[in-house]
């Protein structure tokens, strides 16, 4: 089956988001603050009075709504002359909402800006550089240097900081210790043991499966993690060409995609992370690849004695390779008419106490260095193990090209439908990866041309 590699231009992609404007008019109308916030990308905004109302868009609405409302309540108590309007947006809709507001107006004062979306927003002139504000802030030298560096690297090439990090959300292999013990299986610390367990724990007639694969929204990052983890390739680029379609990666993806419907539920084809996590928590599925963000969901559903969350399996050489999970953060939109009050909120939300509170709820690694020393981390085993794996030399990280303005579109809208075709057998792993490689090589060439 032949697939066209032709794709729309970068500019066409961005402006196409405006077509969806009518679908979000209600949202953007509520996002316009009384102080004049709610501009479009490129608007210069103003410092404002430092009081009044600001609008915050949560990039993981629903999942993180409760903890953000708690932080907002703390902030408003400490700053009674500032009111924060919360707007929760599901993670799957967030980029399109922001892109539409950049083109047509209605941007908030502040919102979630993780590494995966940062370059696209920055390229459209929507974000305020935060280097000077951070340098004069109580947060200066209090934030994890690697997370700050990751967000600077993801900015698109100008080396500026457009988002203050809140957390790192590492990939984790969750497995049911009770099911493994019953089947006499070893912990899935290697890819060989992972595949062995996936097969042995499957009894489709009893609705028992060894693994749940992510086939819906967000599928590409998980597939890349499994692919590079098995191939052992440690760089996303070889010169100016991507390694995604290296023969070793093709073979690894073939093996991984073959798990679908053999050792996984058929429903996995359309599962985003919320459906996948809910399915694992309520069923008899042996293993789940997700990130630290779902740890608390598993605790609520299963307790702490029926599962573990461990770093990704190691290869046959004993080495672990993982793709970089995006650092999350919050950014100040340039069009804000109340930047002084907005920065106060960003400072507060990433302070020791509030950043610790947020990450304990989310089960993620805190960006605030003081928060990262708090006692709860030693009790949250997956977070503790993930943090150790990043610092003990056991893990090599393949840095994904978040700096490419097209990265989020290529890794989502352009290829998630093709990944479903791959799972269904309508597309080979080589065709899938060759298509993605062509898109990435073109995007890289365009980026290098713009940035000299």
pLDDT surpassing 70 at residue 20:
no
pLDDT tens digits along 67-107: 999 999 999 999 999 999 999 999 989 999 999 999 999 99
pLDDT surpassing 80 at residue 133:
yes
Q: Phi first, then psi: give them for residue 34, nearest 5 degrees.
A: -65, -20
Q: What interhelical angle do 219-231 and 247-257 show, nearest 10?
A: 120
Beta carbons of 224 and 400 less than 8 angstroms apart: yes
pLDDT band, residue 326 (cuts 50/70/90)? confident
Distances 19 to 7, 328, 336, 404 between C-alpha atoms, Å? 18, 28, 24, 23
pLDDT tens digits along 381-436: 888 888 788 777 788 889 899 999 889 899 998 999 999 999 999 999 999 999 99
Q: What is the mean pLDDT of residues 58-74?
A: 96
pLDDT at 392: 79
Q: Phi first, then psi: give them for residue 186, nearest 5 degrees.
A: -75, 160
pLDDT band, residue 164 (cuts 50/70/90)? very high
Q: What is the mean pLDDT of residues 290-300?
A: 89
Give the list of residues 6+ apart from residue 155 with CB closer than 8 angstroms, or none.
Answer: 118, 119, 122, 161, 162, 403
Q: What is the mean pLDDT of residues 346-367?
A: 95
Segment among 104-108, 155-159, 346-350, 427-431 with least mean pLDDT: 155-159
pLDDT band, residue 201 (cuts 50/70/90)? very high
Segment among 58-72, 244-258, 401-415 with least mean pLDDT: 401-415
pLDDT at 53: 97
pLDDT surpassing 50 at residue 287:
yes
pLDDT surpassing 70 at residue 258:
yes
Q: Higher pLDDT residue, 184 or 39?
A: 184
pLDDT at 38: 65
pLDDT at 387: 78
pLDDT at 19: 35
Q: Phi first, then psi: give them for residue 61, nearest 5 degrees.
A: -60, 145
pLDDT at 8: 41
- Distance CA(87)–CA(331), nearest Å, equals 15
Segment among 3-7, 211-215, 246-250 with least mean pLDDT: 3-7
pLDDT at 41: 67
pLDDT tens digits along 24-52: 333 333 333 344 456 776 678 999 999 99
pLDDT band, residue 111 (cuts 50/70/90)? very high
pLDDT at 28: 37
Distances 411 to 96, 219, 324, 400 between C-alpha atoms, Å? 14, 9, 14, 10
Tell me the sheet residues that pair with 176: 307
pLDDT at 383: 87
- DSSP summary character for residue 52: E
- Residue 27 CA, distance from chain mean position: 23
């Amino acid at each position: 089956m032949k697939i066209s590699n032709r794709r729309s231009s970068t500019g066409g992609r961005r402006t196409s988001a405006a077509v969806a404007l009518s679908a979000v008019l209600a949202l953007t109308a509520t996002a316009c603050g009384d102080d004049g916030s709610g501009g479009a990308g490129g608007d210069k905004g103003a410092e404002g009075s430092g009081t009044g109302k600001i609008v915050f868009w949560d990039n993981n609405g629903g999942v993180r709504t409760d903890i953000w409302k708690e932080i907002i309540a703390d902030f408003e108590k400490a700053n009674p002359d500032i009111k924060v309007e919360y707007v929760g947006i599901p993670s799957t809709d967030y980029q399109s909402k922001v892109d539409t507001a950049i083109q047509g107006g209605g941007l908030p004062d502040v919102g979630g800006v993780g590494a995966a979306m940062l370059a696209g927003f920055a390229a459209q002139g929507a974000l305020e550089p935060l280097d000077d504000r951070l340098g004069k802030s109580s947060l200066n030298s209090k934030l994890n240097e690697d997370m700050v560096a990751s967000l600077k690297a993801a900015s698109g090439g100008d080396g500026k900081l457009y988002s203050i990090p809140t957390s790192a959300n590492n990939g984790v292999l969750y497995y049911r210790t009770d099911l493994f013990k019953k089947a006499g299986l070893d912990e899935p610390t290697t890819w060989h043991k992972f595949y062995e367990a996936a097969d042995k724990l499957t009894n489709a007639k009893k609705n028992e499966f060894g693994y749940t694969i992510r086939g819906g929204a967000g599928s590409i990052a998980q597939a890349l993690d499994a692919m590079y983890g098995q191939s052992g390739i440690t760089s996303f680029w070889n010169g100016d060409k991507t390694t995604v379609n290296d023969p070793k990666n093709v073979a690894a993806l073939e093996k991984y995609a073959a798990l679908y419907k053999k050792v996984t539920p058929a429903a996995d084809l359309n599962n985003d992370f919320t459906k996948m996590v809910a399915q694992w928590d309520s069923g008899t599925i042996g293993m789940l690849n997700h990130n630290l963000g779902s740890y608390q969901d598993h605790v609520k559903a299963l307790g702490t004695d029926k599962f573990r969350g461990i770093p990704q399996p190691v290869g046959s050489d004993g080495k672990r390779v993982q793709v970089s999970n995006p650092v999350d953060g919050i950014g100040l939109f340039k069009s804000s008419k109340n930047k002084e009050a907005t920065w106060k909120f960003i400072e507060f939300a990433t302070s020791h106490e509030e950043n610790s509170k947020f990450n304990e709820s989310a089960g993620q690694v805190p960006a605030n260095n003081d928060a990262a020393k708090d006692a709860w981390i030693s009790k949250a085993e997956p977070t503790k193990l993930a943090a150790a794996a990043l610092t003990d030399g056991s893990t090599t990280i393949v840095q994904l090209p978040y700096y490419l303005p097209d990265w989020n579109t290529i890794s989502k809208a352009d290829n998630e439908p093709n990944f479903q075709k791959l799972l269904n057998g309508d597309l080979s792993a080589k065709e899938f990866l060759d298509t993605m490689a062509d898109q990435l090589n073109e995007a890289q060439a365009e980026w290098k041309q713009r940035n000299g």
